[in-house]
A and B are shown apart, each in its own frame.
Chain A
Amino acid sequence: MTMTSRAGISVDRLEAAARRDPGPADVGDALPPAQRKPASRALLARHSPWILTMLSVAAGVVVWAIASRTLDSPLFPSPLRIAQALIESIGNGTLLADIAVSVRRIAIGFVLGCLVGVPLGLAMGLFPLVRAFCDPVVQFLRFVPPIAWLIPAIMWFGIGETSKIAIIFYMTVFLVLLNTMTGVAAIPRNQLRSAENYGVSGWQLFAWIVFPATLSYSVAGARIAMGNSFAAVVGAELIAANAGLGYRIVDSGQWMAMDQMFGAMLVLGLLGIAADRLARLLATRFLRHYVHADDHGD
């Protein structure tokens, strides 16, 4: 508890805030009442990450508002206008419909990408022949971005859902595959040797050792893919779409409805944060132990 200076601000406190970590504030609760800081300071300390987050958001809004007022251009709508447009789109149902369409595309493409990426990554990590065969293709395709496939995808799969899902799938599958492959290579040799020692057979090795040992790598890849999906869905909805947040951005831009456009962008960003937070929450809740024992340190 020595880390707080008189002014209530210290490097440790700032670092804790940067980690969004309530940190030392929790320790304060454990102290007997006599040693506690004044209530107002304790309150500030406990909520400081949140207060800073709020301040950061408020600062962003203020900067935007000032810029909007100074430029006074229809191309730069005020935060209030954007909020009004958002409320309007909630009222007439378009926003929820757009969200539903985009989230569905992301969800299907993402899940399919994981379902193909994890087994393929495990196979490429485990079997040198599979790796030798697949690696050149994988290495090539990972440098061809999803957006480059937009036109062929529409031509092959039509203007319906399939082409959009295919773009998300493509983006997900390589990230998950490459991470999973790295995970297989990172399995400690002793873990495989001990399994060999106990007479673990082929499928047991796969299900009981290789899969759990690489799970944290697969999930890390999936989390990056989840984040990128929100970028990719905009690309997928650029052409030949009639709903979705990406479509809304393009469409309202063409009509010069900048408030609607920025509203859709705002929602996209917020959904991305929410998805990432949810993924992180689930990972810490259920996958806490799926890292190698020695990574925890003693």
Chain B
Amino acid sequence: MATEPVAAGSQAAEQGSIAVRDVSFGFGSGRPEVLDDVTFDVASGEFFVLLGPSGCGKSTVLNLIAGFEQPTQGTVLASGRPVAGAARDRVVIFQDSDSLYGWLTVRDNVTFPLRVQGIAARERDERALAALKVVGLKGHEDKYPGELSGGMKQRTQLARALVLDAPILLMDEPFAALDAQTRSILQDELVQLSVTMRRTVLFITHDIGEAILLGDRVGIMRAGPGSSIKETIVVHLSRPRRRGSAEFGALYDRIHRSISEEVQQALRREDSLL
């Protein structure tokens, strides 16, 4: 839990850090492994992007850290403690806004995690309003999710995650279903937000530009099945980053080459199997 002190024996691990060690994951015997020996670390307060071709198991990695799934092998640590199930110190923002509760207003959606904890109504409302202000939804508290645009739904999800003050945010392609313009606006806002809030973010995407725009580091995954981290690239560009800049373009090409190389190899592997 977010408020608990770090357990004894793991003093070295900072609050908000993530460690994924030799993790494998599969859906049972006879079927190919989804993940095979995934290892990476995310430092406290770092913005880490996991990038890879679709179907490579990016979301599975996120689900393992969230505690929705358990690894077949290996360990996942959050703030130095082994992950055993979902908890409020790692909040997930889903790609599909169907995770919002359609029968609750925006305010009640955002206060929901606090209501579960039994926090008093007045404090809930204050914290929800603060979170809604941060994501630019002030004035929309009384709307229902069905009355919101796709971008506003994702803002509501973000507010619902921020209201918990969790040290770790897990974002599973949160902007992938949005139109290009809304996506770009939300990306810019998330950059500003991540600078001020200093939380650990694990961000899943298949969009190279998005990865460079947002990430402190970008982990590139191999094509599945049996995926793992191919390489990790540190993004040295200063913020705010411009998509048009030469450094941005160079990094884009470098990552693009790495991924297409990976996809080619995967195609050849499949070929040789046939």
Contact = CB atoms under 8 A, between A and B. Distances in A.
Contact of A293 (B85, B97, B112): B97
B213 to A, nearest CB: 24
Contacts of B113: 198-199
Interface string A267-298: 00000000000000000000001111111101
Contacts of B27: none
B117 A194 contact: no
B97 to A, nearest CB: 6
Contacts of B209: none
Given A191-B98, A199-B117, A290 B103 contact: yes
Interface residues of B, number: 32
Question: Which of B98, B100, B160 counts the most chain A CB atoms within 10 A?
Answer: B98
A190 B103 contact: no
Contacts, number: 83
Contacts of B94: 190, 193-194
Given A293-B146, A295-B146, A197 B98 contact: no
A136 interface: no
Contact of A193 (B86, B101, B149): B86
Contacts of B147: 296
Given A194-B94, A199-B116, A292 B102 contact: yes
A208 B117 CA distance: 13
Interface string B121-158: 00000000000000000000000111101100100000
Nearest to B166: A197
Contacts of A291: 102, 146
B86 to A, nearest CB: 5
B73 interface: no
A197 B96 contact: no
A199 B160 CA distance: 14
A238 B268 CA distance: 74
B260 interface: no
Interface in A190-209: 190-191, 193-194, 196-201, 204, 208-209
Given A197-B66, A197-B92, A199-B116, A293 B100 contact: yes
A227 to B, nearest CB: 25
Contacts of A93: none
A23 interface: no
A190 B96 contact: yes
Nearest to B151: A298
Interface of A: 188, 190-191, 193-194, 196-201, 204, 208-209, 212-213, 215, 289-296, 298
Closest 7 CB pairs of A and B: A296-B146, A190-B99, A293-B145, A293-B102, A188-B98, A198-B113, A194-B99
